[in-house]
Chain A
Amino acid sequence: MAKLEVQHLNKTYGRTIVPVKDMSFTVDDGEFLTLVGPSGCGKSTTLRMVAGLEQPTSGRVMIGEKDVTHVGAGDRNIAMVFQSYALYPHMTVYDNMASGLKLRNMSTAAIQDRVADATRVLGLNDLLNRKPAKLSGGQRQRVALGRALVRRPDVFLLDEPLSNLDALLREQVRADLKQIFDAQSTPVVYVTHDQTEAMTLSTKVAVLHEGNVQQLDSPRNIYDRPANRFVAGFIGSPQMNLFHLSCEGNAAVLGNSRLRLPDRFAPPPEAVLGIRPEHVRIARPEDTETLEGKVFLVEHLGMSNLLSIQVKDSDLRVRALLPSDQTWSDEITLALPSQHRHWFHVQTGDRFPDAVPSRVS
């Protein structure tokens, strides 16, 4: 078992093409790190550098305290699942899984053992003698996974392994993946741009943007306390409401209501307010800071209704997610619970430091 450590990784292709700027993270045994971010943010490039398929311009990759930055991909003892599965088309399912082991001069009996183990977990027993062309997408995906599992590597790397599956299958395989990797104590690095996968599978999530780690934290914290405006907008569906507001004293102005800023720091002239649609609710009599508006669009999502509301005396629009059994009138009064408000700096986009007592002096 080995810990994966990535230190200040940088990849520069050209003066203006720097897909990975400064990337550092560690993945311990039993940890599942997900790299998530928009297209082109350098996820695959990072993963390929960890795999040894791409040489970093600077920085180090350590596996189990050993510097492997200049070690070839085949000698790092890692296994990788590609988005395209990359099965060898001229080999049967069995040979696809066994080929990596044969190269390591493992005995046939041991290879058969390992393949049998993997096929049992993945339910591939009946397909061992087929060629990849005669498999369905989901089956190919499982063979690709099996090829990684039989290797019993020090680190698993997966690059968007589910993105070629249809929605229903993806959900099912996602659950299988979680089970399989929970049973292993090998570090896993998983690349996706699907935030549901990131939230459900991982123990740690790294949100990437423009070649930098924006936040590296547990899925809970990424959702509850996004470190900056980008993370706030990227994680969560439907997207978080983000408003650029001007401030008067220690309150931000939204429509004709005043929202109190968190205490204990000098109030800025402007701030960005974030609040998730699922946290916006219809105001109750006891609420003080309420917001009036007019519903102009309703989207039924099954479990809930997504309301788009034009704020009164303002051109801002709020989206609110209400349980489907709740009723409302077109002229609506909303409450934005203060414990669910996120405040961000206008220029840097960073989260305002929370009013933690220890920070006060």
Chain B
Amino acid sequence: MTTTQKPMVASSNPTNIRPTWVQITLWVAIAFILIFSLGPVLWELLTSIKTNEAITTDPVVYIPALDQYTFQHYIDLFARNHFHRYLFNSAFVAIISTVLCLCIGAPAAYALARLRIPGEQIILAVVLVVTLFPYILLFLGLLELVRAAGLANNYLALIIPYTAINLPLTILVMRSFFQQLPRDLEDSAKVDGYNTLQMLQQIVLPMTLPALATTGILAFIFAWNEYIFALTFITRESMQTVPVAAAQLAGTTLFDIPYGPLAAATIVGTLPLILLVLFFQRQIVQGLTSGSVKG
């Protein structure tokens, strides 16, 4: 017995050690990637809660000491700069344009995926070409349009372009999603007696939610972060969006760069996006269609 056990012990030792080495390397790698990609964000976060003195002292303060913490930048942001107003503007524009984008894009994608439309390939090609345009190129033309339509300083001046810019991607992504939805499900619903509207609402829509959430988040992030249009089409200060307002934060003097408030504005502007993604991550249940069909 002992002779058979010895080699077992001997052979189990290296197998015990090797995984720990692998694990150590793995964790080092993970830590490195985390620091590398989250470093700037962390720096912003720390800057936003440091006192002005701590921000500007010469030996750089990385981790502030206890007496160097302050929430003053955040308080200033809302009390002095009315940041809640810009947050509302951004949210309003982003939400409306996202909803519009999904409401127009999803039915279009469904039609392109399911109906035999003459010229379908041409339509798809056009949609694809539109996504290839750098949107900055459209900027001057749009400016003229906005002026001509008298939309300057109107939320519509942002909502309409944002919706239009996000539509092609929404249509392409949703179309490929609809194409891989099993057709049998819709046929089955028809045999069961659903009419087209009921079928779309009660059978297709619930299965489409993950794709809607994904494309919706992309559209929302674009609209939330967009800067150029928001800067030029909206000049009235009370209607500005977060990125514009953050960029226009001014210090007390011309040469004083307000690092603290800027960092706080960045954090406040990013937080909604992070929350949104975290929230929908739980909603995007992977493999929602699994179980309906086999294979």
Contact residues of A with B, CB < 8 Å?
48, 51-53, 72-75, 78-80, 82-90, 99-100, 103-104, 131-135, 137, 140, 147, 151, 164
Distance of A340 Cα from B292 Cα, bound (Å): 47
Q: Are B203 and A103 in contact (CB under 8 A)?
A: no
Q: Are B193 and A53 in contact (CB under 8 A)?
A: no
**Interface status of B195 (Cβ within 8 A of chain A):** yes
- Name, among B187, B195, B198, the residue most crowded by chain A CB atoms within 10 Å (CB to CB): B187
On chain B, the residues within 8 Å of A73 by CB distance are 187, 190-191
Could you show 18 A-B contacts with beta carbons less than 8 Å apart? Answer: A53-B190, A73-B191, A74-B194, A75-B193, A80-B188, A86-B182, A86-B293, A88-B189, A89-B207, A89-B288, A89-B289, A90-B206, A99-B192, A103-B194, A131-B291, A135-B291, A140-B291, A147-B192
**Interface status of B290 (Cβ within 8 A of chain A):** yes
On chain B, the residues within 8 Å of A90 by CB distance are 206-207, 288
Distance in Å: Cβ of B83 to nearest Cβ of chain A: 40
Q: Which of A79, A80, A89 contacts B291 (CB 8 A)?
A: A89
**Interface status of B294 (Cβ within 8 A of chain A):** yes
Q: Are A72 and B190 in contact (CB under 8 A)?
A: yes
Q: Which of A86, A88, A140 contacts B187 (CB 8 A)?
A: A86
**Interface status of B287 (Cβ within 8 A of chain A):** yes
Distance of A341 Cα from B188 Cα, bound (Å): 46
Q: Are B290 and A80 in contact (CB under 8 A)?
A: no
In the complex formed, the residue of B with least CB distance to A144 is B188
In the complex formed, the residue of A with least CB distance to B195 is A74
On chain A, the residues within 8 Å of B289 by CB distance are 89
On chain A, the residues within 8 Å of B202 by CB distance are 99
On chain A, the residues within 8 Å of B207 by CB distance are 89-90
Q: Are B198 and A88 in contact (CB under 8 A)?
A: no
- Return the 10 tightest CB-CB contacts between A and B, nearest first: A133-B291, A132-B291, A100-B192, A84-B293, A74-B193, A86-B184, A89-B292, A86-B188, A90-B206, A73-B190
Q: Are B291 and A87 in contact (CB under 8 A)?
A: yes
Q: Are A103 and B291 in contact (CB under 8 A)?
A: no
Q: Are B191 and A88 in contact (CB under 8 A)?
A: no
Given known pairs A51-B191, A74-B192, A74-B193, the reply for A87 and B198 (CB within 8 Å) is no
Please give 20 more A-B residue pairs, beta carbons under 8 A apart, in addition to A80-B187, A86-B182: A52-B190, A52-B191, A53-B191, A73-B190, A73-B191, A79-B191, A80-B191, A82-B184, A83-B184, A85-B292, A86-B184, A88-B188, A88-B203, A88-B292, A99-B202, A131-B291, A133-B290, A134-B291, A140-B291, A147-B192
Distance in Å: Cβ of A26 to nearest Cβ of chain B: 21
Q: Are B190 and A89 in contact (CB under 8 A)?
A: no
Q: Are B193 and A84 in contact (CB under 8 A)?
A: no
Q: Are B203 and A85 in contact (CB under 8 A)?
A: no
**Interface status of B295 (Cβ within 8 A of chain A):** yes
Distance of A304 Cα from B174 Cα, bound (Å): 56
- Name, among B287, B294, B295, the residue most crowded by chain A CB atoms within 10 Å (CB to CB): B294
Q: Are A82 and B188 in contact (CB under 8 A)?
A: yes
On chain B, the residues within 8 Å of A100 by CB distance are 192-193
- Name, among B190, B191, B203, B294, the residue most crowded by chain A CB atoms within 10 Å (CB to CB): B191
**Interface status of B160 (Cβ within 8 A of chain A):** no
On chain A, the residues within 8 Å of B195 by CB distance are 74
Distance of A176 Cα from B249 Cα, bound (Å): 75
Q: Are B188 and A164 in contact (CB under 8 A)?
A: no
On chain A, the residues within 8 Å of B24 by CB distance are none
**Interface status of B185 (Cβ within 8 A of chain A):** yes
Q: Are A84 and B184 in contact (CB under 8 A)?
A: yes
On chain B, the residues within 8 Å of A88 by CB distance are 185, 188-189, 203, 292
Distance in Å: Cβ of A204 to nearest Cβ of chain B: 23
8 A Cβ contacts from B204-261 to A: 206-207
Q: Are B191 and A78 in contact (CB under 8 A)?
A: yes
Q: Are B292 and A132 in contact (CB under 8 A)?
A: yes
In the complex formed, the residue of A with least CB distance to B202 is A99
On chain B, the residues within 8 Å of A132 by CB distance are 291-292
Q: Are A84 and B182 in contact (CB under 8 A)?
A: yes
Given known pairs A74-B192, A90-B207, A104-B193, the reply for A137 and B187 (CB within 8 Å) is no
Distance of A103 Cα from B182 Cα, bound (Å): 22
Q: Are A164 and B295 in contact (CB under 8 A)?
A: yes
Q: Which of A72, A80, A137 contacts B294 (CB 8 A)?
A: A137
Given known pairs A86-B184, A88-B185, A90-B206, the reply for A74 and B191 (CB within 8 Å) is yes
8 A Cβ contacts from B176-190 to A: 182, 184-185, 187-190
Distance of A78 Cα from B198 Cα, bound (Å): 19
On chain A, the residues within 8 Å of B292 by CB distance are 84-89, 132-133
Distance in Å: Cβ of A183 to nearest Cβ of chain B: 22
On chain A, the residues within 8 Å of B206 by CB distance are 90
On chain A, the residues within 8 Å of B185 by CB distance are 86, 88
On chain A, the residues within 8 Å of B189 by CB distance are 88
Distance in Å: Cβ of B206 to nearest Cβ of chain A: 4
On chain B, the residues within 8 Å of A48 by CB distance are 187
Distance of A78 Cα from B293 Cα, bound (Å): 21
On chain B, the residues within 8 Å of A82 by CB distance are 184, 187-188
On chain B, the residues within 8 Å of A72 by CB distance are 190
Distance of A10 Cα from B122 Cα, bound (Å): 31
Distance of A147 Cα from B198 Cα, bound (Å): 18
Distance in Å: Cβ of A96 to nearest Cβ of chain B: 9
Distance of A134 Cα from B287 Cα, bound (Å): 12
Distance of A181 Cα from B202 Cα, bound (Å): 31
Distance of A79 Cα from B188 Cα, bound (Å): 9
In the complex formed, the residue of A with least CB distance to B192 is A100
